[in-house]
Structure 1
Amino acid sequence: MWFLHSSLLWALPAALAPVLIHFISLRKARRVPFSDLRLLRAAYARSLPTSRLRRWLLLAARCAILAGLILAFARPVLRSDSSGVLAAAPGEESTRLVVLADVSYSMGYRPHGRTRLELAVGAAQKILRGLKPHDRVAALSFSDRIEKAGPAGRIEWSSDAAEAGAFLEELRPGFRTTDFIAALQPAYAFLRDSGPGRKAVLLLSDGAAHGWRREGAQEIRTAVSAYDPSVMLFGLRWDGPAGNAALTSAELLFGPSGAPGVSQDRPELQVRAWLAPGDGAGGLERELEVRLGEERVDLKRLRLTPGRETETAVRLSGERAWAWGLAGLQKDALAADDVFYYSFWLEPRPRILMVQGGPRSFETGRGGYFLKKLFADVRGGLLPYRAEMMDVVQARRARLSEYAAVVLFDFREFDREFVSSLDEYLRSGGGLWIIPGKTQDPSAWRGLDGTLPARVGMLDGVSSASGLRPERPLSESGSQRRLSWTELDLQNVSFRRRYVLDPHSDAQVWFRDGAGRPMLLQGRRGAGRVLLSAAALDLDWGNLALKPAFAPIADAALGYLTGFQARREPRMATLGAPLVRRWSEQEPLPASAVLRDPSGKRVPLQVMGRKVEYETDTPGIHRLELAGSAEPEFTAVNLDHSSRESDLRPTGRPPWNGLRVDASDEDFMRALYGRELRDPLLAGVLLLLALEVFLANASGALRRAGILGLCGFLWFCRPVEAQEGDKFVWSQLRYDGNWDPYPSAPAEILGYVSQVTSVLPSPQRRSLTLADPLLFSSPFLVMAGTQALDTLGDDELTRLRAYLTSGGFLWIEDVSGLKTGAFDRWVRRTLHLVFPDSDLRPLAAGHVVHKTFFLMRDLGGRVAVSKSLEGVDWGGRTVVLYSRNDVLGAWAKDALGKPLFDCVPGGEAQRADAKKLALNIVMYALTSNYKSDAVHQPFLLEKMRSGTAP
């Protein structure tokens, strides 16, 4: 505690004067013979404990009065960082203040119209305006690093507070995360070298716990090497919870190597969303939109659980080398983390030519039937190949070089011309798989003698041994399946007939049957690869086509023939990390490379050392355009979610002095300069004087009455509970049915109200029923509906009438878009029951609601059903307002912030009128008939003549 006139403290011993006088006045009682009874009674009364207590209280009160007077004239000043020692106030010294502005993406949180960064800068401006001319200010912005340090690009003192304020006004939330230590370290180091004086650091941040990385809020003394306890640290204190939902990741799933049931040509995008703990007790529903390229592929509602990640999968479509796009969650107060971008490169699927021997090859139970199901399943195809079915006549005209592999099956004999084409195809590097047919003549194999990896013998009958025995690991066969042969129950495969195969010396056996005879072999023909099966796939030859091993064996065979590895590379990066594109020695280098960022800006890149490298500072899809490439390469850049920047829960025990955002200057000056206690001390002296007079002169009965009166006064002066203060609360009526058709509309309206008026809306919407105790604490109530509700009971009708006649306002919105719908009939019937003496009538063009804020000439909405508003009047005001043009629907937006519906027939002009009407209705509920006063008439007439609106 400091004293502005510390020399007066030498007079403090004078406060003991009443004690000295008390002891001096103590005299020994004299002996008086035959004293009267009055003296005896007085002596007895003075000896009672209550009398002794009163004398000591008088003595203490008199000492306290003198001490209070002396301290009051010494002018004590109490500071929050005071050590409790009495000292003289320091001389006039300047203040050195460093302002740290957090520009991480969490500062873009916009609960009602303005971001937290805008509110924080406004709080700082009030502090800067209160500084003295000789005070010095330095300002810098930070995220997980120092972004910009002062007007000159480094930490230095501004010429004045106005220059620092101008620097802060230009700041906008970025896309990086928060690290308090990264900002506090240079700030304390700068102040350490700034010389003597009063020093302070002002942290303009949301104060969330995610800003402390490894150190933690309570370890600032050790984490900041230049920490000085004499430097006062200030931070902002935010009111209310900050709920938030975010998209955290996206992954592409494939079959057969991905999730079961997911096809190769129609992969699924698995999206993960996260909801902040405590944001909605039972969870919240949000709309999720997924786009593939520029095309919307799905729009669904996602149920989010507080504190947990929620997964959902969306089926993608289309044959493309690049799968890129975005997943967007319904926009909330922090919109930056509601979008997640994805990009994957997919190895193009090879083309396979399936050549059958006859038209009956695809009959049920035949080998062609089962082969066709591998590529044309209801799920889109089990194997990652594009198969084309042809007969031998069509195959003669086909260009075999365009296919990665050819499969011959169910042949009775082999066409010589086609065999010649196959041989040339194989020598040039193609792949061939030959599967016998049901009625194939053994002599027909002779035409392929130079191509086959084995000599084909006669048909063999039923084998007593069943099962398949692999000779080659699955990992070496070309299959991309994450399993092994032992998982496929090969022992249950059986064959009724087979061709006897005599492998050539250079052939390799893949499978043998239970008796050890070859069933599938591989060989070479020039640069090509050949596979030969010993048995047909028809059911009367065996059961392989019915077993789970069939698809993996076919996948392995085609993978061996084509060299296809089903490679898929996620091309996604975290914002801030450099993106690097490397070219292998086998890849040709592009002559030039140009990067096009999400905003469309093109940046030429230089290829050095067979690579290009570039920085990313904006989330979105980045396109790398290479000379000679028909299609650019796509990279998705997303926000960094590793530090939980989306979790806006505040620091538990922050190391700073908290400042109220709306009273930052008052709190800052009080904490920095202290609070003078002269007036409270003088008030205390007055109370002690009254107590002294009361104890010295009042009788016992009067003293008791005074004590009871003082207790009663203090009880009546106790603090009372506030309801919502001066904030406007959007309350919406909840009922059984579709009571909330547009969940995003209230937040959009409240943001608009905050932007264009001085009304301060509450960020949280309130939903209640007619039986809710909060009904009479909610003067503004909205009801939206599309269908008829159940008839209200007598108690509900009574409460609704009591609410409306006691000052409440009800806005009913018919969102059905129908001229005469079930909801409209229910509204008219119910309002007649509530107000049998007041009818629902169209409001006149001169009604106050049409000019409360904007001068309305046309009524907007999603549709144009009615040309006028309707209402119920009671007590000189409109207590119920009924609109039928779906005004709320005009406010509804999707996850990307775009309108969900077109406004018909007037388009965007009709939407603008809807926004004006919604604001007028809110302002009418707050001000009633205020704008109808005569003082406003000249102003309104002038606006009407000029064609403008306030």
Structure 2
Amino acid sequence: MLVLGPLGFAAPWLLAALIALPVLWVILRAMPPAPRRIVFPGVALLAGLADRAPVATRTPWWLLLIRLAAVAALILAFAGPVWRPVVQAPADGPLLVVMDAGFAAAPDWAARQSRAEAALTQAAAAGRPAALLLADGRDGQGALAFRPGDAWLSGLRGAQPQPWATRLPGDPATALADAPQGALSTLWLTDGTDHANRAAWLAALNDRGPVTVVPPARPLRTLSLAGGETPSLTLHATDDAAPAVQAIGPDPQGIERALASLTPGDAVTRDGLRLRPVAIDLPPELRNRITRFQVEAEAHAGAVVLADDRVRRRKVALVGDPLAEGQQLLAQTHYLRQALAPTTDLVEGTLGDVLDTAPDVIVLADQVQLAETAELTNWVAQGGLLIRFAGPRMAGYDRLSDEPLLPVALRQGGRDIGGALSWGDPRGLAPFPEDGPFAGLAIPDDVTVRAQLMAQPAPDLAGKTLAALSDNTPLVTRDRLGQGQVVLIHVTANAEWSSLPLSGLFLQMMERLVATARLSPTDAAPQDRAQPFWTPEIVLDGFGRPSEAQGLSPVPAADLAQGPGPDRPAGIYAAGERRQALNAGGPFVLADWPGATVEAASTAPGRDLRGALLAAAVLLMALDAVGSAWLGRGRARGAAAATLMALMLLPGPRAQAQELDPQLMQAASEVALAYVVTGDARIDSASQQGLAGLSQALRSRTSVEPGAPIGVDLDRDDLSLLTFLYWPITEAQPAPGPRAYLRLNAFLRSGGMILFDTRDGDIAGVGGPDMSQALRRLAAPLDIPPLAPVPDDHVLTRTFYLLEDFPGRWQGNPVWVEAPTTTAQAEAGVPFRQLNDGVSPVVIGGNSWSEAWALDENGYAAYPIGQGWEGDRQREMAVRFGVNLIMYVLTGNYKSDQVHVPALLDRLATEERLAP
């Protein structure tokens, strides 16, 4: 290929024909030949006559230019011009495709797969051996295998990005040891970030041959959690955009959705990145329901921050007796307030007042004989955490053995260890048990206890002791009551009995105790990073979607501190009563590529100019015909030129039309319903029968007259002529290829709808296996907007029938559609919310609608639903939902506009009355 600046030519030898243009100019100038002057006396009789159709003696210069330009355009077109071509040095050696497979590669993963597939296919056609390196850190440290390029396609299509940063093998020399002879050409599909061993791999590949780097097409944005007394988020981005951060968690009905939208602050530039702080300024009730934070419109694990104990703020209630004015600094509540205020939301007042605020933790500072004991007992039994501190009042209470809500039985009167009338010295603290909530905390040498409230000896006293003094007398005890727990600290919360409240250890101990709220203490296990293992509970995939951890082993604490990796994906890890989030996002470093050819990401490479030049040549020829006709001034010639020009400008038939499936062409004219062929004969038969039954209902009840349903092979068929696609989900269904996903995304963007039916409505939500994982696997590469359950005022509930539920063969399960924008507001006087202008591109549910719509060859229901009248009514409601769905696809949200009709009629009536 010849490259001249941004222009390249696939057949540059044809440009030699441009040399003939000057010769052609001379030839055209010589035609017609110059006339010779011959003296003929009879010509005098023609003097004074005007020639109505003169013939030019020479071709005008402007007509010559048009003809030469047309010829030049044809020559350039046949030379194969390409604007900004992808210049690849001719190579016959091996090919290595390196794909960064960390979370940063997830946003345009389908495009990366398509580019890698094209390169491997071309290598296979040229007979070049090829190797595929997925840089996800899971490959062994051995040598890469070089095989025919098409041998890697199946593995490439099934590959997925991982919820950790890209990882390359450690030693490039070992990995490339089996590379065949010849210059090694490398195509590196990078995610744009720097990572370990990248520089060493780049140097090694540059030494072996040319390296072409394909940068990401989209800017990268990650989210990280900044710790401290007030946890906050930080948005890291390569561009100036400031997308909102969605706080996601279950709503009061238990449905996971966006509970709030957080706005990033002003940006600060650091190392080429734009950093924006995101404050978590939410009420405690809302904040404690949040399970994760996610950058809006970003679908990768780095844009997700999972919420753990560092994010959730417990509501803590303090109950104590206020001291006289001027002595507030001596009160126990003052020390507790200073310890808990940075990490919790405090409420103070009487016990009756704070119980009404529904706190997570109640702290009683030397309180006995409370009037609200019954209400407090019920609150603890329902899951509350009660923390009590000893003091002079509790020690002097004469019925201390009858005091309820104590974890252990106590002796009346306190123990004076280091007072003026005691013989002993103040006691220090014994090391904390490794299986308790204080495991791993360092005990300062200056923390001593001078007095304490003693526990009665009992066989189970050791099991209830969380902390003890150096003489093994209990300092902190705990017991379970119903779903909650009661904790007693056997000293005061001020410095009257010990120096513990004056130390930083007191803050750490209170933070650990508060973090155990709403958790069962009987399941206690090692819970600090100093403990050996953490168990994964929830993990993310590369696209940032959470799921339950399956088949993963406990992770050593030392490995957990290193961040996400192949054996420890991003997720929530548990150690006893504590939950630790391992998040993939955070600051990153942009990569540089010395010695490599980096493709421009801002423009589409390889734009073919052949069609534009051919069109220009045709237009110039038409202008030449018009110009010649004008010079000739003949009606016949002018009409012929005009006709020729019209024929040349008419659009020709599209070549692709001959390649379309006749069924698809018929579907465009008949509005036929289509379904995805899964390969399961029973499921495909149910889909065909179901859409046939729904088509029959549409023909009999509406003005829509659909044709026969058609099955669609996503890897082969064109979807541009379809409007509605029913996709039943099966576990064994293979994922379509990258080109199929490109067609599916184009189908969704052009107004089409896909109804995903997981068909698991009979087992979803009751602990049985469902199709959620299969749905995530199949729909991951699709450009699906944020979803939400169908609200009561959605257009889908009233498109044709008024519906409150959307049953199929099963019922009672939520149906998901595109979520309304957070800024959508209802107008005054309009009873329905104005949703997004258009149709939801996807509808997701599990009610097995095709089986509810299905009719056999005799016109009877093919599958049973329920029993008796209830089953018949459920089938009728399923058919009505199908009618609403198809009418919604075909007509959009016009029903929402009907609410304006009364106002328009009133306005017209008013204008008629005011008219003269």
Please report the TM-score for the alignment, with normalisation by the length of structure 1.
0.41
Please report the TM-score for the alignment, with normalisation by the length of structure 2.
0.43
Structure having the higher strand fraction is: 1
